[in-house]
Structure 1
């Protein structure tokens, strides 16, 4: 029996609806699995992050213990034991602890009278882009001070220029070394200005302010150092 046009339309609509339902079912299954997979991946990633955090904290604690042991050994005069621990820490520790280990190794070299090797070690820390900036700045000042007599004055000035910012941690030392290098170049006016800026900075230790104020006075610049600050 032939279907009427209306019946045919209803039939095709039912078929079309059934096809759509089937496609939606397949899509739901497919994307449901994808969504479930994303949730699993997210949970795995979160678990990995938690594990990394825990591992980092544990490692930091271990690095701190090694550093403390090395400092204790240095204080007791056991340089051999200290050097072994510091070498291990520099090799296997985190960036911060490795940098501190490098600084302490350089200090140990100074105690052994090896100032040239110490300056090289300090510069290695200063040039380490992965090390914390405060440690790099400390190492740069120490390296420059140790090698001051052998460095061209222009090199000293260029090295310390980033630290020549009043109020910052190493401004006092950088300013004094910069002024001395300027004196070597015969730049007495610039040297007096460097000394004067340090003398007026209350964040600089008082003993250093007094010293550079005298240097400024010797160059004809009368400066009254700040009368309070760190001692």
Structure 2
């Protein structure tokens, strides 16, 4: 026979604990299956994540091989085959390789002497916000170089402004086009200042610094000659 509690308070506490224990058992019986399902789904999701990562790595490797094959076909004169490969890559969701494929497509147009079409393709690539900035810069340089003789000088200057800055990897080429555009606009002072700045930038190739130093001298500006600069 169970021992009776010594007072009402103890009795009420024991009853309360028994009720809560019974409720806990009911909840376990009622929701035990749901908890099990949640655990199974969580494990499946984890396993799926691992599989997806492995799958993505494998796909990336395949696309890398396809891109390499396309470049090899271009080098070997098999441009028709390369075009098919590049078209497939551009039409896929291969974000890492699609912009590179588009770059090669534009370059193929230039190789076929379709400069206007190639320039338009490069320009479109440079304006695509989904493309990494370094590739967009390359595309903008290629488009502007191809269109330089037909573009209004001010448009050249505006395009090259972000790149024609000391320290920018494209300062040499962008600075030269900017300086020449200033000359076309009858602004020798701005052109000369740009050329002088280029001669002082050690990241600009020596041959280019030598060329713009001569241009600066022709405009009446004294520029630093590459041979006069101390070694880095």
- TM-score, normalization by structure 1: 0.84
SS of the residue 1:164 aligns to? coil
CA contact (8 A) 1:196 1:223 kept: yes
The aligned counterpart of 1:213 is: 213
Query: Once the two structures are superposed, what CA deviation does each residue of 1:28-82 show, in whole Å capped at 9, x if it has no partner?
Result: 6788777766654543343333223222222222122222221122112222112
Q: What are structure 1's unaligned runs of at least 5 residues? A: 1-5
SS of the residue 1:113 aligns to? coil
| Bigger RCO of structures 1 and 2 (CA < 8 A, at least 6 apart) | 1
The aligned counterpart of 2:124 is: 124
The aligned counterpart of 1:3 is: none
SS of the residue 1:95 aligns to? coil
Distance 1:40 1:175, change over 3 A: farther
Note the 1:39-118 alignment, pairs <5 A.
Answer: 39-92=39-92, 94-118=94-118
The aligned counterpart of 2:3 is: none
Task: Please give the alpha-carbon distance, in whole angstroms, between the structure 2 residues aligned to 1:23 and 1:111.
Answer: 79
For residue 93 of structure 1, report the CA deviation from its aligned partner: 5.4
Distance 1:77 1:45, change over 3 A: same
SS of the residue 1:128 aligns to? coil
Task: Please give the alpha-carbon distance, in whole angstroms, between the structure 2 residues aligned to 1:65 and 1:82.
Answer: 13
SS of the residue 1:134 aligns to? helix
Distance 1:43 1:195, change over 3 A: farther
CA contact (8 A) 1:95 1:132 kept: no
Task: Please give the alpha-carbon distance, in whole angstroms, between the structure 1 residues aligned to 2:160 and 2:27.
Answer: 65
Provide the aligned length of Structure 1 versus Structure 2.
226
SS of the residue 1:129 aligns to? coil
For residue 22 of structure 1, report the CA deviation from its aligned partner: 3.0
Distance 1:76 1:37, change over 3 A: same
Note the 1:1-231 alignment, pairs <5 A.
Answer: 8-25=8-25, 39-92=39-92, 94-227=94-227
Q: What are structure 2's unaligned runs of at least 5 residues? A: 1-5
**Higher alpha-carbon deviation: 115-124 or 201-210:** 201-210
For residue 142 of structure 1, report the CA deviation from its aligned partner: 0.4
